[in-house]
Chain A
Amino acid sequence: MEKRLIKKETLAGIVGELAGKMRVCAPMKAEDQVLFRVLEAGEKPLVDFANTKNAPKNFLFPRTEMMMKYTRTGKGMVFAGEEETDRGQTLLFGVRPCDARSFTLLDMLFDQEKYRDPYYINKRKRTTVVALACVHPPYTTCFCTSVGGNPVSSEGVDLLLTDLGEAYLAEFLTPKGEALLSAFGGTPAGKGAEKKKEEIAARAAGEIASRIPAREIKPILDTHFEDPFWDTLHLKCLACGTCTYLCPTCHCFDISDEVKGNDGIRIRNWDSCMFPMFTKETSGHNPRPSQKERWRQRIMHKFRYYVDNFGAISCVGCGRCVMACPVNLDIRKVVADIAKL
């Protein structure tokens, strides 16, 4: 694996220049928020930020995405074209290690033996992930270390950048990452830089203020599907989809058709287990009739079913849902309360 040192002041310029050659998505200021968006050629991304309000999953699994077009003819419906794929390469810059880990969790679902999702896989193949390690945890609500991650995790990362103070240590971890060697340049990194990174990694992990018993609750969830705990947990929930829409690992979708005259498109949109409509059946019956069953599903899916199916907790500890929930229904507290059952 190639390791280089890159001068700090040059990084944003390197990425800005790459934006002229390929599609680059990076954190940018948008009014009072930091959001991922596509850069114009030469536009410099933020390199000094906490984390983005939205998760980068949108670039692999868009909020709304066309699957195919069709036309009505005398002989019935006729296929009229595939999803509009942008065939070029995409560089996802400035991803935090927790969000990069979310890609490996999404891979387990969308790219597995039983089912391979071409829409996701096509985008994933063409995307290179450049991550910025967390030298300090960006928020007090971060809890990556409780769910299998850490502030300098390289899971799901092609090129990992760690701020050593005067320079970034650039680790070109995969062939996709190595393809960026000439663009990023830099000088070979020695043992000193590696040692410094290890120190930073240990300190940053120690600075994580929130710890939750995420692994411990699996056996409890296995035996507590019916429990009075679920009866009151959801009461203040507004049934909005904020938590699931901002979540880097939530991946549920709904497919619908939009027709205009004789032309139709089939699109898939993000859906949310928090919405009453999510499980409503054609007959009118809803197997998850209240917010109680929906919240139980959200917790079970992340901390029990995903572990059963793929051996991993479907939460990366980014804390977005904790910060953005309009009624402060804090998943850290929910998990801690379950551990006491």
Chain B
Amino acid sequence: MENVEKKLREEAKSLLAEKKVDVVVGYEKGTLPLTATPCFITTPEEADRLVWNPFCVQNLAKFVHDLLGQHHEAQKRVKPEARRKKVVGVVARGCTSRSLVIHLQEKQYTKDEIIILGVPCGGYLDGKKLAALAGGEEIREGSLDEGKIVVKTVSGERQAALKDLLADNCLVCRFNQPVIADIRTGEVAPVAEAEKEYDPVTAFENLPPEARWAYFEKEMAKCIRCSACRNVCPSCYCRICFADQSQPRWVDIGADPSDTQLFQLMRMYHMVGRCVDCGSCTAVCPMGVDLRKFLKKLDKDAFEMFGHRAGVSLEEPAPLGAYRETDGEDFIFEPGKKIEA
């Protein structure tokens, strides 16, 4: 990982020095132990702030969309001859690169507006698992050394293997490398057991409907409607979200639980074939809502019904955004029936 980090800094430095990019979106060290935080590097001198380690959590494609979207808007107010292109460099692992592919497929920006600094990924640290290791106490110090996480809390020191603390989505990830990249910075051994990807979903599907609904209600009751899940999601980029519309007001924010349930249901249904299972929504949720359970079900459906994996190739758009003569319709009459891709 140190070598990847070193190469990453060098590449970012030269991209900025040669003015090939206006900004590099990456990660830097956070202010709390065992954290990294998104950062925006605009000068070669700052490139040494970049880090790459298992504390890098969020999918950075969201910020690429923000920066380019704002730039495109701003350019509309500039005379055509004075318009300029903005190029964003982005540190991208497998899931981030898949989100970039989705943006390109959905024509949010063009390939010449981004430079992808591909990084190999062995998964990131799950906040909840880390908190459980610390027994719910504040982590006062932490270290990662040779695949071992050590945390110090007020009551003492505890440790665990990094692989036991990785996020659930990382444990079943099949994309240790970015699917597209302009620059690649190294290799890493895969940790994932991709064949188990849908096991928890299958187990959940086998529960009676009442038990599944009860779980949904329980999880949604935790939601405080901060919208962190929506805002961190690279695939959630509507200019005005239906949840923010006031004429008509589709969902309220009051005490009626159906408002929150509807908000989450609607958001999730927009994710069919567009969710890359980066886990960012679950990672940023301050209340620990298990959003992934439901999103993974939609991902499974998209795969089983259309043979589609989100953002895997530029040539293969999301099933609900494309027409194919071979698309089956049997699922209308026989929900759950598998269709040959």
**Hey, which bits of chain A sit against chain B, CB under 8 A?**
31-34, 50, 53, 63-64, 136, 138-141, 232, 235-236, 238-242, 245-246, 254, 256, 258, 267, 269, 272, 275-277, 290, 322-324, 326-330, 332-333
Asked if A269 and B40 make an inter-chain contact with CB atoms under 8 angstroms apart, the answer reads no
> Which chain A residue has the least Cβ–Cβ distance from B249?
A256
With beta carbons under 8 angstroms apart, the residue of B138, B226, B256 that contacts A241 is B226
A290 to B70, CA, bound (A): 10
A267 to B252, CA, bound (A): 11
Given contacts A50-B138, A138-B138, A238-B284, contact A258 B39 (CB under 8 A): no
Asked if A245 and B226 make an inter-chain contact with CB atoms under 8 angstroms apart, the answer reads yes
Distance in angstroms from B63 CB to nearest chain A CB is 7
Enumerate chain B residues within 8 angstroms of A141, measured Cβ to Cβ.
32, 138
Asked if A240 and B30 make an inter-chain contact with CB atoms under 8 angstroms apart, the answer reads no
A267 to B138, CA, bound (A): 37
Q: Please name 19 further chain A to chain B contacts, defined as beta carbons within 8 Å, in addition to the given A269-B254, A272-B226, sorted by A numbering.
A: A32-B128, A33-B288, A53-B286, A64-B253, A138-B138, A140-B140, A236-B40, A240-B226, A241-B227, A242-B228, A245-B226, A256-B249, A269-B253, A275-B227, A322-B32, A326-B232, A328-B32, A328-B35, A330-B31
Q: How many cross-chain pairs have Cβ atoms below 8 Å apart between A and B?
A: 102
Interface with A: B104-112, B129-137, B315-323, which one?
Answer: B129-137
Among all A-B residue pairs, the 7 with the closest Cβ atoms: A240-B228, A326-B284, A328-B37, A236-B38, A238-B231, A328-B30, A241-B226
Enumerate chain B residues within 8 angstroms of A31, measured Cβ to Cβ.
288
Cβ < 8 Å to A, chain B residues 80-135: 128, 131-132
A213 to B249, CA, bound (A): 43
Enumerate chain A residues within 8 angstroms of B226, measured Cβ to Cβ.
240-242, 245, 272
The answer to whether the Cβ of B224 comes within 8 Å of any Cβ in the partner chain is yes
Given contacts A64-B254, A141-B32, A242-B228, contact A236 B63 (CB under 8 A): yes
Enumerate chain A residues within 8 angstroms of B37, measured Cβ to Cβ.
236, 327-329
**Hey, which bits of chain B sit against chain A, CB under 8 A?**
30-32, 35-40, 58, 63, 70, 128, 131-132, 136-138, 140, 154, 224-228, 231-232, 244, 246, 249, 252-256, 283-286, 288
A31 to B288, CA, bound (A): 10
Distance in angstroms from A334 CB to nearest chain B CB is 10
A140 to B131, CA, bound (A): 16
> Which chain A residue has the least Cβ–Cβ distance from B42?
A232
**Could you name 14 residue pairs across A and B whose Cβ atoms are closer than 8 Å?**
A31-B288, A33-B136, A53-B286, A235-B63, A240-B286, A241-B224, A276-B244, A290-B70, A326-B58, A326-B228, A326-B232, A328-B35, A328-B37, A330-B31
With beta carbons under 8 angstroms apart, the residue of A33, A139, A232, A277 that contacts B40 is A232
Distance in angstroms from A254 CB to nearest chain B CB is 8
> Which chain A residue has the least Cβ–Cβ distance from B281?
A326
A275 to B128, CA, bound (A): 26
With beta carbons under 8 angstroms apart, the residue of B32, B70, B132, B255 that contacts A267 is B255
Distance in angstroms from B190 CB to nearest chain A CB is 27
Enumerate chain B residues within 8 angstroms of A332, measured Cβ to Cβ.
31
> Which chain B residue has the least Cβ–Cβ distance from A51?
B138
Asked if B224 and A245 make an inter-chain contact with CB atoms under 8 angstroms apart, the answer reads yes
A272 to B226, CA, bound (A): 9
A332 to B32, CA, bound (A): 11
A141 to B58, CA, bound (A): 22
Distance in angstroms from B220 CB to nearest chain A CB is 15
Enumerate chain B residues within 8 angstroms of A245, measured Cβ to Cβ.
224, 226, 286
A29 to B134, CA, bound (A): 16
A333 to B29, CA, bound (A): 13
Asked if A256 and B254 make an inter-chain contact with CB atoms under 8 angstroms apart, the answer reads yes
Distance in angstroms from A294 CB to nearest chain B CB is 13
Enumerate chain A residues within 8 angstroms of B227, measured Cβ to Cβ.
239-241, 275
A31 to B131, CA, bound (A): 12
Given contacts A50-B138, A269-B253, A328-B30, contact A32 B231 (CB under 8 A): no
